[in-house]
Structure 1
C-alpha cells in the first residue's frame, strides 16, 4: 500500500474533538475566574451539542470541580474526556498540536511555544503536546518536534496547500531570519505549496503580535472572512482598510480573487481605559456549526449572518466572550480542533 503524503486539514473538515484546558486560580484568569468559567461552560455546552471535548485539568480537584460545574449546567458528559496535565495557561490554540493527516495516520507538529516571544512563562505549555501524547490522547500519531517558534493562532490553512499568515508576527518570533527562510520552514513542516503574507492589520489589546486568527480566516469555496472596520474615526481604520485592500489583491491557485466576507466592527470595549481586542474573526468551526464570539454588541447578529453566509449549512452559535478578551484573546484562541480519527 502506498503511504499517503501528510496534509494540513482545513478547520471546517471533520473533527473528532476540541481540545480545551479548564481555567484555574493558578492561571492568569485568577482575578476574574468566576466570569471566565461561565464562558467555558457555555463553550463546552455548545461544542458537545455536535462533538466531543478533550478537557485538560490541572489535577484531580480541578477535574472534580469542572465536572460538577458542567453537570449542573446539563452538559452531555458522555462527550467530555478529562486529561490531567500541567499547563501554564489555557490558550491551547497556541500550545496545542498543529496536526497533519496522512490517511488514517497523523503527524503532531510540536513547535516551540515561547509565551508569544517570551512575554509570559510557558515551560509547561511548551511540553503540552508531549505530555498529552504520553497519556494516549492521540491515535496513530507521530510527534515531530521543531526547534521553531510557531503558534496555531498565527497560521491559517485552506486545506489545499495555501497558508495565510502575518509578517509582523512571524518576523518578531524570528528576527534573525529572512522571509524566505521562514516561508521555507512553514512550507516543509506544514505541507504547504505556498504562503500568503499580510503586511497590515493588528488589534489593540492583542499581545500575540497580530495573529491571523484575529484578522482573516479561510472559508470553504475560495473565500476569506475578515475583520473589517467601517468607522473612519477609529484608530484601527487605516490598518484594517489596508488589510482589506491586501486581501482583495490575493489570488487563488487558479488566479481568481477570493470571495471576501467582511465582518462588522463592534464598538470599542474598554477595561480600566484599556482597549480590548474584540474580533469576530476569532470564531471556531466545528462539525456542523460555527461558534462565534459574542460581545453583547448590537452587531453580534450581523456578524452571525456573515458567518452563516461564509459557512453555509452550519449552525451559528453565539458564545459570550467578553470575559476572554480581558486576557487579550477570544474563542478561537482557547481551542484546538483535533481532526476526525485523531482522538
Structure 2
C-alpha cells in the first residue's frame, strides 16, 4: 500500500511538540527556553490543536507557561526538537501512517543525548492511532521538505552523513524515501548553512535553507551580505536549483527570503533564517529576530501563503540553541474526510 507525505500546507489535525528538558538546551537559561517553546505553542493553538509531550517531572512547570488549550501528554523525551525525534506523518488508503526513522542525535553528536528520543516518535505514533512504518535509515524531519506531489528537498551533508548513513548511496536514500513517503523526485542540495554545519548544528538540515510554499515554488534563504560566509553558501544553493524540475516536470521558481541583517552573535556567525517557519491551519508561524528584515520576511511569507495570517514569534532563543520554529514542531495531517479544527 503506497504512503505519501502531504504538503505542510494541507489541513492538519494537530501539531506535536515536546517540552525542552536537556541540559544542552536549558543550560543556565531554562526560563528563556520555556518561555520561547510556550510562545510557539500558544501561537499555534490559536489556529489548530497542539499536543505537548512532557516528562512527568516537568508537567507542572510546563502548565505554568502553556495556554490551557494546549494538550499535555506525558512521555519520556530527552529534549524539545520533536521535528527531528518525532515521526513523519503520511497518508495512505487506510488512513494515517507514521514513519519512525532512526534517530541518533543528529549523527551521533558528542554533546547530544537520545536514549529516550530514539523511541520518542512512538509517543505521537501511538497517540494518533497511526499505522507504524519503521525505517532503518537515520533521518530527521528537519532533513526533508516536500511539495506534497512527490518532490522532496534534501541535503547531501545530512542524508549521506558518515555519522548517520555511512553505507547508503543517493540511490539508497531515494529508494527509502519512495517506500516511506511516496517520493517521485528527490532534489539534492549540496549543504546547509555555516552555523548549522558547525559542532552544535545538524550538519545541514534543509528546513533552514529551503521549503516549498506551493508546488513549483521554492522559498530560498538569501544571505545578502558578502561578509557572511553564507553569502557564498546561498549562491551555491541557488546555482544547484537553477533549471531543476519537480516531479510534475515544472521548472522550479526560486523566491528569495532575505536573511536578517544581523550577522553575528556571541558565538559567531548566525544562521538566523525566516525559512524555518511552520505552516498551520490558516496561518504561518514565522521567526522574528527584532530585525529590520522581519517585516520584509512577513511580506514575502504573506505573498507565498495567500489567505493565511502571518504570526511572528521571537526565535532568537531557539536559534541560540541550534534550531527554529519548524525544528520544534511536527504537523499531523488530517485524513481526507475527517473534521479539521
1:67 paired to 2:59: no
SS in structure 2 of the partner of residue 100 of structure 1: strand
Query: Does structure 2 retain, via aligned residues, the 8 Å contact 1:200–1:240?
Result: no
SS in structure 1 of the partner of residue 246 of structure 2: coil
Q: Which residue is equivalent to 1:143?
A: 132
What displacement does 1:197 show?
0.8
Q: Which residue is equivalent to 2:159?
A: 170
Q: Which residue is equivalent to 2:9?
A: 12
Per-residue Cα deviation, 1:116-173 (whole angstroms, up to 9, x for no partner): 0100221200111224445xx113x211221210100000111111111111211112
Q: Distance in 1 between matches of 2:75 and 2:248?
A: 45
Tell me which of 217, 231, 251 is aligned to 2:245.
251
Q: Which residue is equivalent to 2:187?
A: 196
Q: Distance in 1 between matches of 2:234 and 2:263?
A: 18
Q: Distance in 2 between matches of 1:132 and 1:26?
A: 23
Query: Does structure 2 retain, via aligned residues, the 8 Å contact 1:11–1:286?
Result: yes
Per-residue Cα deviation, 1:275-324 (whole angstroms, up to 9, x for no partner): 33211111110000011011111101101111111111111100111111
What displacement does 1:267 show?
2.8
Q: Distance in 1 between matches of 2:61 and 2:213?
A: 37
1:106 paired to 2:96: yes
> How many pairs are equivalent?
330
Q: Which residue is equivalent to 1:264?
A: 258
Q: Distance in 2 between matches of 1:314 and 1:36?
A: 27
Q: Distance in 1 between matches of 2:24 and 2:334?
A: 30
Q: Which residue is equivalent to 1:41?
A: 38
Per-residue Cα deviation, 1:205-262 (whole angstroms, up to 9, x for no partner): 4511111101100111421111012112221111211111222321133433222221
Q: Which residue is equivalent to 1:81?
A: 71
Q: Which residue is equivalent to 1:278?
A: 272
- The two structures, once aligned, show a CA RMSD in angstroms of 2.0
Q: Which residue is equivalent to 1:231?
A: 225
143-152 vs 201-210, which deviates more? 201-210
Q: Distance in 1 between matches of 2:233 and 2:310?
A: 28
Query: Does structure 1 retain, via aligned residues, the 8 Å contact 2:35–2:65?
Result: no
TM-score normalised by length of structure 1: 0.90
Q: Distance in 1 between matches of 2:181 and 2:248?
A: 21
What displacement does 1:274 show?
2.6
Decide whether aligned partners of structure 1 residues 204 and 251 sit closer, same or farther in structure 2, where only a CA change above 3 A counts: same
Per-residue Cα deviation, 1:77-118 (whole angstroms, up to 9, x for no partner): 2x3211110111110010111111125611111110000010
Mapping 1:108-127, distance limit 5 Å: 108-119=98-109, 120-127=112-119
TM-score normalised by length of structure 2: 0.91
Q: Distance in 2 between matches of 1:48 and 1:279?
A: 23
Decide whether aligned partners of structure 1 residues 306 and 181 sit closer, same or farther in structure 2, where only a CA change above 3 A counts: same
Query: Does structure 2 retain, via aligned residues, the 8 Å contact 1:268–1:275?
Result: no
Q: Distance in 1 between matches of 2:158 and 2:167?
A: 13
Tell me which of 322, 329, 334 is aligned to 1:328.
322
SS in structure 2 of the partner of residue 188 of structure 1: helix
SS in structure 2 of the partner of residue 28 of structure 1: helix
Decide whether aligned partners of structure 1 residues 268 and 305 sit closer, same or farther in structure 2, where only a CA change above 3 A counts: same
What displacement does 1:19 show?
0.6
Decide whether aligned partners of structure 1 residues 69 and 200 sit closer, same or farther in structure 2, where only a CA change above 3 A counts: closer
SS in structure 1 of the partner of residue 204 of structure 2: coil
